[in-house]
């Protein structure tokens, strides 16, 4: 926040998150359920659900979110706004997230142009964060270059990672066709990477245990029950388990690096579904209890620490926003924002919610 204040930002409030930012829906024992502005019976997503809802409602033009497995991109997709997870280390973080090097700090806005301005303001060197990557060129100054000639890989389900709802698939397909119409070279291709969900859960639960280690027995009883369970699981993870998860993470990063020698951008749906019932962690009638089951396209790119954005590309049959995800190689943040800006100038954002809220 110190960088924003130095640039003259007016901070209008603190928005809600899930407890410790541990899950991608914004429900908390402290603040209750944060609902979706497009339909208050649906979740806003999370963990930065308060930020996404505020931007969607017009409470402020910009917000800063955190993303350790999708929690900028997930609520931005559900609420129909723009969300960007920069390359890890571009935006210094202090104090550090309990989720360590999975966690990125990034902008949420109505469009890519506003997000680029915010990103430039909060980026840069800070001695308090030893993982920073140093100065990078302005993203706001490079938005107008267009996408003609860019090599785009379109992976409609990231190689069969999730069953994508028909309305989501259709909206993303139409957006990809639009990119091709603007001169991008689009090929349907997936990276061919193994499913890293188990490795991600190992790192996530270990971090949850570490984040809550200082709490006594009575304090633990006050935690979100799901967070308490994740932390308890984390206490049973061995050093060897953790190192194996890091090995998988490194292999995944190598695979994606090789993939981006052939493609400038990877495009997927941000999520395989639109916003589901508020107050629940997984969609109704789901056979799963773990939130990673419905975020198969977001959390892999926290493991690789690549820049990734979500932008609204349509609405489903219930008027709920659909998100499209753009991913680039390390340090190619400007490329993601440039591509997001081009369709954003033609494809409308989800309409601002009406007065029912």
The answer, yes or no, to whether residue 17 has pLDDT greater than 60, is yes
Q: Looking at the domain assignment, is residue 357 inside a domain?
A: no
Q: Looking at the domain assignment, is residue 354 inside a domain?
A: no
Q: Looking at the domain assignment, is residue 113 inside a domain?
A: yes
Q: Of 14, 2, 215, which Cα lies nearest the Cα of 128?
A: 2
Q: Looking at the domain assignment, is residue 111 inside a domain?
A: yes
Q: Looking at the domain assignment, is residue 355 inside a domain?
A: no
- Give the range of the structural domain holding residue 287, as residue numbers without chain letter: 2-344
Q: What is the pLDDT of residue 227?
A: 95
- Rounded distance between C-alpha atoms, residue 166 and residue 249, angstroms: 31
In angstroms, the first-to-last Cα distance of the chain is: 29
149: left (phi over 0), alpha (psi -120 to 50) or beta: left
The answer, yes or no, to whether residue 347 has pLDDT greater than 60, is no
> What is the reported pTM?
0.95
Q: Of 309, 347, 280, which Cα lies nearest the Cα of 107?
A: 309
Q: Of 244, 306, 310, which Cα lies nearest the Cα of 111?
A: 310
Structure tokens at 223: 């935690």
Q: Looking at the domain assignment, is residue 356 inside a domain?
A: no
Structure tokens at 209: 């245990």
CATH number of the domain within which 214 lies: 3.90.1300.10
- Rounded distance between C-alpha atoms, residue 132 and residue 239, angstroms: 26
Highest mean pLDDT among 186-200, 279-293, 341-355: 186-200
State the total domains in the chain.
1
Which residues fall within 8 angstroms of residue 175, CB to CB, at 6 or more apart?
A: 313, 314, 324, 343, 347
The answer, yes or no, to whether residue 142 has pLDDT greater than 50, is yes
Which residues fall within 8 angstroms of residue 332, CB to CB, at 6 or more apart?
A: 87, 260, 264, 307
The answer, yes or no, to whether residue 200 has pLDDT greater than 70, is yes
Section 230-254 average pLDDT: 97
The answer, yes or no, to whether residue 171 has pLDDT greater than 50, is yes
Share of the chain above pLDDT 70, in %: 96
Q: Looking at the domain assignment, is residue 351 inside a domain?
A: no
Which residues fall within 8 angstroms of residue 247, CB to CB, at 6 or more apart?
A: none
Q: Looking at the domain assignment, is residue 353 inside a domain?
A: no
Tell me 277's DSSP state: B
Over residues 101-136, the pLDDT tens digits come to: 999 999 999 999 999 999 999 998 888 888 888 777
């Amino acid at each position: 926040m110190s960088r924003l204040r130095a640039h003259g930002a007016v901070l209008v409030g603190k928005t809600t998150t899930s407890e410790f930012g541990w899950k991608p829906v914004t429900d908390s024992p402290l603040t209750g359920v944060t609902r979706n502005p497009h339909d208050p019976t649906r979740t806003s997503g999370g963990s930065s659900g308060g930020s996404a809802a505020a931007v969607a409602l017009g409470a402020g033009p910009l917000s800063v979110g955190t993303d350790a497995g999708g929690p900028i991109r997930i609520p931005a997709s559900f609420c129909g706004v723009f969300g960007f997870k920069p390359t890890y280390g571009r935006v210094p973080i202090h104090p550090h997230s309990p989720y360590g090097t999975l966690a990125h700090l990034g902008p949420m806005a109505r469009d890519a142009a506003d997000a680029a301005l915010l990103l430039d303001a909060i980026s840069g060197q800070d001695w308090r964060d030893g993982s920073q990557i140093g100065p990078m060129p302005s993203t706001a100054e490079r938005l107008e270059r267009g996408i003609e000639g860019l090599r785009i890989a379109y992976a409609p389900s990231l190689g069969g990672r999730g069953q994508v709802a028909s309305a989501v698939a259709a909206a993303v397909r139409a957006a990809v066709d639009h990119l091709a119409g603007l001169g991008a070279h689009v090929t349907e291709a997936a990276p061919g990477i193994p499913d890293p969900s188990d490795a991600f859960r190992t790192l996530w639960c270990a971090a949850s245990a570490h984040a809550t280690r200082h709490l006594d027995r009575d304090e633990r009883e006050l935690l979100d029950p799901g967070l308490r369970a994740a932390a308890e699981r984390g206490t049973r993870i061995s050093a060897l388990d953790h190192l194996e998860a890091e090995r998988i993470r490194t292999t995944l990063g190598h695979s994606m690096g090789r993939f981006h020698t052939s493609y400038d951008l990877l495009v997927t749906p941000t999520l395989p579904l639109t916003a589901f019932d508020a107050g629940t962690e997984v969609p109704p009638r789901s056979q799963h209890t773990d939130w990673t089951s419905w975020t198969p396209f977001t959390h892999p790119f926290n493991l690789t620490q690549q820049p990734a954005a979500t932008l609204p590309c349509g609405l489903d049959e219930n008027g709920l926003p659909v998100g499209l995800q753009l991913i680039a190689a390390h340090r190619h943040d400007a490329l993601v924002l440039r591509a997001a800006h081009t369709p954003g100038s033609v494809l409308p954002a989800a309409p601002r919610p009406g007065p029912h809220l």
